[in-house]
Structure 1
Amino acid sequence: MPEDRRGQRASRGGSAGRGGAGRGGDAGGRGAKPAGRGSREERGGSRGGGRDSKAAPGARRGDFRARSGEDRGPRSAEQAAYDGPDLPEEITGRELDRSIAAQLKGLPEKLAARVARHLAAAGMLIDEDPETAYQHTLAARARAPRLAVVREASGEAAYAAGHYAEALAELRAAKRMNGATDYLPIMADCHRALGNPEQAIKLAKSPSVSNFAAEAKAEMTLVESGARRDMGQLDAALRTLELAPLTSKSRAAWVVRLRYAYADTLEAAGRETDALAWFHRTHAVDSDQITDAAERAEQIERRLG
């Protein structure tokens, strides 16, 4: 598996990764008025649809046609985003983690239910159809723009769908709202994807990283080493990885990914013999076959003869 700028890729640890079917959602927004919901006149005219008894003298009745849904034309992009994708009937919103659902309780009941359904749908789709998952989070955000949990879900879904500028903006907003630092690896990876590796490294050096759990530290290490590679600093990338627990006896995915990144960087640096050894070490703990370490090792063995 070639080195991936996203894919030394920070895992999604927040709400869109905890919603429906065991995953959840976050979002947020700016303003009490939902996007695309203008006044009645903006949505297609007055209630009378043109039947105005005070019309100017001489106006013909034909000038005041009732405005049916067909006459209004296609919905605007803002209105479409507010509506969001269709919600399958089987998604009720009860799929969300309790911690996520609890953060929606301040909303009116019907509004909370609709937001919950969009977040649950996003959580279910984020791996197989991240773009549609993102559209669900935008619909949730349009309805509940001031909830950090909604803004977080929107950021995570945007990241999964490859909308890195939007993901960065959403996660920054979530961080301002709740002060959480869980998003830092994803935010750093967004900087990488946007061509700003220096900013990724700056986030990797944040004091809060030292308090991360092992998996989150590994995610930040992967992003930092990738940023170093983006800048052509292969030796620095190797040193960054060598400070991580590469020899951990754990078979957790984060250990597999650390070893793989180290082997891949060794190969990029021209150290094929060392890379071969670490691809084998990666394969030894990769019980779920999340990498192609075995194939990479075979390729090197063929080259070395």
Structure 2
Amino acid sequence: MRQGARPEGGRDSGGAGRSWRDDRDQRQGRGPRSDREREPLPPGLARAEDEPPVPQDADPSRLPREVRAELRSLSPEGAEFVSKHLVAAGDLVDTDPALALRHAQAAKRRGSRLPLVREALAETAYAADEYAIALNEYRALRRMTGDSAYLPVMADCERALGRPEEALRLVKEAKLVDMTQRTRVELVIIEAGAREDLKQAKEGLRILKVALGHAGRDIPHEAHARLAYSYAAMLLRNGQEEAAREWFVTADGLDVARELDAEDQIELLDGVDFVFDFDDEDESDEDESDEDESDEDEDSEPSVDDEPADEDGEDHDQPHEDDTEGLTPEVVTSEVVPEGQEALLNEAGEADDSAEAEEKERND
């Protein structure tokens, strides 16, 4: 056969003229294969029982242009299926990462050869704390693309899976390749965390401190903020509250995008400010006054003159000047005179006024 010629018996070779489908369906007189004869799909390609339905309201045009271009390698039906699940995964990853992961897994079923689909699955799995799935997908991405930028997040997945030694091995490998400043900061944070996981907190603090000392003005603010926050958090975990507070303040000043909770950490270190709800306090006072009144029915109430004085000779029923500072008159009243006793005092006052009025009428 000459080079480039079609094989004998082909559709254009002058043979019987049957298509390959006809030949397949009529081999040895047998009909088409039944469903039972079909081989099962490889793992990951069969539809999962909990696979969410294709979101009909998802708009594939929302995907970036380069993503839509990569999806053209699929059939039109497959491209629509994958793109709609990707849109749903992107919408849900921050609010419901578990459901976003299921959408990304559905997209992989029809687009497993596309790096963008594997990256979507890796990121949603990471957001859903499914680190084994995330690590597997990041490994596949690195094989498919040859990109070493995935090494830091792979190391972080190893940490999350309780393998800090493997995390440090990946960190060492990542240090040999060129990376952006932002990625290098993440690598430093992961390395320090892995050292802390290995009960080497002092080494972890040293790594972060050196990185902060070398941080120049060219480092992005958000990366610098994350570095300072990680150092503060490790200081706090190791009992250095005062130093931790200072670095939380630094991180808060660098966090222009307000992505960190440094301000909350500062407030916790400074102490929690309690806000009193006087409505609840009044309800508790009413309960206490009811108990006091029931006790008064059994025992006669001693007069004020008969009450024993404290050993120091002070009357602790009256508020000190320090106790009343910052309180309104209404609050002072509710603090000094319980609500039940205040009602009794008011009734006694009204009775005295009535008796005085009757005596005045008799004199007139």
TM range (shorter): 0.5 to 0.7
Q: Is the 8 A contact 2:208 2:227 kept in 1?
A: yes
1:184-195 to structure 2, matched below 5 A, reads: 184-195=151-162
Residue 235 of structure 2 aligns with which residue? 266
Q: Is the 8 A contact 2:188 2:211 kept in 1?
A: yes
Q: Indicate the SS of the match to 2:148.
A: coil
1:219-258 to structure 2, matched below 5 A, reads: 219-245=186-212, 252-258=221-227
Q: 1:192 to 1:142 in 2, by over 3 A?
A: same
Counterpart residue identity of residue 296, structure 1:
Q
Residue 103 of structure 1 aligns with which residue? 70
Residue 165 of structure 1 aligns with which residue? 132
Instruction: Report the more deviating stretch, 171-180 or 85-94.
Output: 85-94
User: Relative contact order (alpha carbons < 8 A, sep ≥ 6): 1 or 2 greater?
Assistant: 1
Deviation of residue 132 (structure 1)? 1.1
Q: Is the 8 A contact 1:181 1:208 kept in 2?
A: no
Counterpart residue identity of residue 294, structure 1:
E
Match of 2:35 among 16, 37, 41: 41
Q: Is the 8 A contact 2:47 2:109 kept in 1?
A: no
Q: Indicate the SS of the match to 2:259.
A: coil
1:197 equivalent in alignment to 2:142: no
Q: Indicate the SS of the match to 2:60.
A: coil
Q: Indicate the SS of the match to 1:243.
A: helix
1:1-305 to structure 2, matched below 5 A, reads: 41=35, 79-81=46-48, 84-207=51-174, 210-245=177-212, 252-301=221-270
Counterpart residue identity of residue 228, structure 2:
R
Q: Which runs of 5+ in 2 are unaligned?
A: 1-32, 38-43, 273-364
Counterpart residue identity of residue 126, structure 1:
V
Deviation digits for residues 104-123 of structure 1 (CA, Å, limit 9, x no counterpart) = 22211221121111112111
Q: Is the 8 A contact 1:283 1:294 kept in 2?
A: yes
Counterpart residue identity of residue 279, structure 1:
F
Counterpart residue identity of residue 264, structure 1:
A
> Following TM superposition, where does structure 1 have runs of at least 4 consecutive aligned residues deviating by more than 6 angstroms?
none
Q: Is the 8 A contact 1:134 1:157 kept in 2?
A: yes
Greater per-residue helix proportion: 2
**Number of residue equivalences:** 233
Larger radius of gyration: 2
TM-score (norm 1): 0.68
Q: Is the 8 A contact 1:221 1:241 kept in 2?
A: yes
Counterpart residue identity of residue 41, structure 1:
D
Distance 2:50 2:271 in 1: 55
Distance 2:47 2:96 in 1: 18
RMSD, aligned α-carbons:
2.8
Distance 1:208 1:42 in 2: 53
Distance 1:142 1:200 in 2: 29
Q: Which runs of 5+ in 1 are unaligned?
A: 1-38, 44-76
